[in-house]
Structure 1
Amino acid sequence: MEFSSLRTWHRPLVVFAGAMVFWAAGSAVGLFLDDRMLVGAPIWAKPFKFSVSFVGYALSLAWMISLLGRARPRLHRPAWWAGTVVVATSVMEMALITLQTFRGRQMHFNHTTPLDSELYNAMALTVVVLWTATLVIAVLLFRAPLADRATTWAIRISAVLALAGAGLGFLMTQPTPEQRAAAGDGEAPLVGAHSVGVPDGGPGMPLTGWSTTGGDLRIPHFVGMHAMQLLPLFVLVLAALAARYARLREERVRLRVTLVAGGTYAAVVALLTWQALRGQPLTSPDATTLGAGALVLAAAGLGTLLALRPGRRPALVTAA
């Protein structure tokens, strides 16, 4: 797995990631100094979490685009422009979220006033453009071998999973049954929710705020999007272990293990989505969810064993 010099990475994305580090630091200060609460969480929690998430997202894309530029230079230009669009839309999204934080207003799903509605619609548009630009990069990543086969497929699978995870955010924009009823009465200040089966702002997990009383679509959304960091990191660990375990020195073995990991990751995202849509908290899985999780683990274990099996040795030919 190769990491080229940071200077060769997509510069706008790298600069944006650096800006998000400072944005996260400023939001952390807000968490300590501003005691306002919004939808059951400290008001500066949202810009803090978004800025931290954007650091990993931007650096991952910057690295992937650099690999694409070395593998297939003619694809670098469209990927560079798509990455720049990601930066522009991400800056707009963070600016809108921070503006609403200063105003003490909810950003997501908020149609309480005309201004709140316009700001939310503008943010939703940036998300759509960002997702589309990431899709362009993902398609280009399938056009060329980026490094060794394990790394190449880890990047490709993680890009697809990140798109799927980001796409799950669109499920949150659907009105809840209570909101549909309110809309029928002519009042719908909020349209959409993070939680399923319970109102947003109820009891939540520490730091993340994920609901502990109902389903929460932010969980598969988060896990899916961060495949872009975790799967390449997994391949990096495999490469490190190859120094100790001879079997992992075979490229085809690392590729097979990587494909198993990618399939398992996709199954986990699907399981978390199914659990959330059933209105079930991550912390209180029922027997059905536990059974499905056990099947995923069993399949992952069996797949790993098969991936590590020794290859067939060519038969020796002896002279008659």
Structure 2
Amino acid sequence: MVVLTVVSAIGLAVDDRVLVGAPIWAKPFKFAVSFVAYAPTFAWMLSLLGRARPRLRRPGWWAGTVVAAASMLEMVIITGQVIRGKRSHFNHETPFDSMLYNTMALTVLVLWLAMLAIALFLFRARLADRATTWAVRCGAVLALAGAGLGFLMAQATPEQVAAAGSGEAKIVGAHSVGVADGGPGMPLTGWSTTGGDLRIAHFFGMHGLQLIPLFLVLLVALAPRFARLRDERVQLRLVLVAAGAYAAVLALLTWQALRGQPLIHPDGATLAAATLILVAGAAASFAALRTTPVTVTGDDTEKELAA
């Protein structure tokens, strides 16, 4: 994936072709960068799993290998179609294009099932501590949900359904909702600025895999300066609050996209929901920071432990 990132970056610099309103090498570049972040995170999680539950080391290794192989096959198809000047996703223009897309769709399903297996393994293991255990579990579940949103994009739009009835459907599926793919988009990401875009929630959910564990890393880094964060119970509570807020934002982004609404032009309902999430998250964080005394009895002495 690192090599493909470099190749795609060179392609962006020297190849001026445009496909569906974006530089033709933009898709493999974004996918490769995403996998560069994704693969080491899964490798780290599997290393924790292997130490915590040795019996799951081998099944975890196989599941991780499936993720790596499926990711590589998907990137080969995407890059190959770029070289041909063709769309990789949703493309049924020719039998060969359709075969490649169907292969990629099957590959994505296999990848998702392997991710599901890893998530189930993680729920069977107690890792370094409870906060780490739940940060990893929640990150894996959010990534599963985000990846699963990709299946919504494979559904035919009403216009494509009508075209299929007349035998003229060449593209089946879309990133955008309410507008055609390839319209005005945000810088770098290309996310639609005129309609809903399912790629936003897809991206946000998948990278919960990194962001929730990184949130715990931040808490641990701040612990020497803030006494309450040294309490493992507080760390666990804050991780669960962060995961819950993340899941709520993921649901909001999905809802916004399905209503055909651009990310940068939220309506009153979207803003109200976002405000509710913010207030609930702040209240839950405040409650999580409150610690209760724990009485420890031993050798006829009692000690009150409070943060």
Asked if these proteins are the same fold (TM beyond 0.5), I'd say: yes
| Residue 14 of structure 1: aligned partner | none
1:161 aligns with 2:129: no
- Structure 2 counterpart of 1:80, from 42, 61, 76: 61
Q: Aligned equivalents of 1:109 and 1:143: distance in 2?
A: 37
| Residue 60 of structure 1: aligned partner | 41
| Residue 290 of structure 2: aligned partner | 309
SS in 2 for 1:279: coil
Tell me the TM-score normalized by structure 1: 0.92
Q: Aligned equivalents of 2:70 and 2:291: distance in 1?
A: 48
* RMSD, matched Cα: 1.3
| Residue 179 of structure 1: aligned partner | 160
- Structure 2 counterpart of 1:228, from 198, 205, 209: 209
| Residue 305 of structure 2: aligned partner | none
**Paired residues for 1:42-191 under 5 Å:** 42-191=23-172
SS in 2 for 1:188: coil
Give 1:120's aligned amino acid. Answer: Y
Q: Aligned equivalents of 2:231 and 2:124: distance in 1?
A: 24
Q: Aligned equivalents of 2:42 and 2:294: distance in 1?
A: 39
Aligned length: 299
SS in 2 for 1:275: helix
Gap regions ≥5 residues in structure 1: 1-19
Q: Aligned equivalents of 1:31 and 1:43: distance in 2?
A: 8
| Residue 217 of structure 1: aligned partner | 198
Give 1:181's aligned amino acid. Answer: A
- Structure 2 counterpart of 1:262, from 230, 239, 243: 243
Gap regions ≥5 residues in structure 2: 303-307
Q: Aligned equivalents of 2:288 and 2:28: distance in 1?
A: 42
Q: Could you list the runs of 4 or more consecutive aligned residues of structure 1 that deviate by over 2 angstroms after TM superposition?
A: 312-318
1:289 aligns with 2:281: no
Tell me the TM-score normalized by structure 2: 0.96
1:21 Cα deviation (Å)? 1.2
Q: Aligned equivalents of 2:156 and 2:263: distance in 1?
A: 22
Q: Aligned equivalents of 1:149 and 1:86: distance in 2?
A: 26
